[in-house]
Amino acid sequence: MSGVIAMIDAACQCGRADAKGRPQAYLTCCGRYLEGGPAHAAPDAESLMRSRYTAFVRQHASYLLSTWHPTHRPATLDFEPGARWLGLQVRGHRVTGPDTAEVEFVARHRVAGRAVRLHERSRFVREPVQGVACWFYLNGDILE
C-alpha cells in the first residue's frame, strides 16, 4: 500500500507548481492525462506539452503517439537507452488561433554522461475525438 501512496504523492516530472509554489503530484497533474484517455484530454497546449514531457520521462510511448497529430505521427517511437531526464522549463505559451497554439520550452536530459538541451517552439492543434476537443502536437522548430 505504501507504494501506491508514494505514487499518488510523487511530484510530477513536468515541474508544474501550485499557487503556493509546491510541486504538483503526478496523479493530479500530468498523470490524469497519461492514465485517463480521451475523456481526460489536456485542456490546453501547455498542459499537453507538459504531459508529453512526463510521458518521455516515463517512456509512455502509447500516450506520446496518441497525442501526436496523425499527419506528423511517426510509425514507432524509440527511447534513448539510459536517458536521465533533468527538468523542463516552459518559456512561453501563446494562443495563435481558435484551435491552435505554440509552446516554447527547454527540456534537459543526460545520455551516457553527456548533457542534452532541447529548446523548441512546438505547434499544437485542437480537434474533436469521440466528442471531446483534444490537443495534438504537430511539430516544432529547434531554437538556440
Q: How confident is the model at residue 7 (pLDDT cuts 50, 70, 90)?
A: low
Query: Model-level pTM?
Result: 0.91
Q: Environment class of residue 66 by beta-carbon count within 10 Å: exposed (0-12), middle (13-18) or buried (19+)?
A: middle
- pLDDT over 90, % of the chain: 85
Alpha carbon distance 35, 48 (integer Å): 13
In this structure, are residues 55 and 71 in contact, taking their beta carbons and an 8 Å threshold?
no
Q: How confident is the model at residue 135 (pLDDT cuts 50, 70, 90)?
A: very high
Alpha carbon distance 137, 73 (integer Å): 9
In this structure, are residues 123 and 105 in contact, taking their beta carbons and an 8 Å threshold?
no
Average pLDDT over residues 7-30: 89
User: Quick one: cell of 66?
Assistant: 496518441
Q: What angle do CA 52, 66, 9 make, to 5 degrees?
A: 45
In this structure, are residues 105 and 89 in contact, taking their beta carbons and an 8 Å threshold?
yes
- The average confidence (pLDDT) of the chain is 92
Alpha carbon distance 84, 80 (integer Å): 9
Q: How confident is the model at residue 8 (pLDDT cuts 50, 70, 90)?
A: low
Average pLDDT over residues 117-139: 95
User: Quick one: cell of 48?
Assistant: 499537453
Average pLDDT over residues 23-50: 92
User: Which range, of 34-43, 77-86, 121-130, averages the lowest pLDDT?
Assistant: 34-43
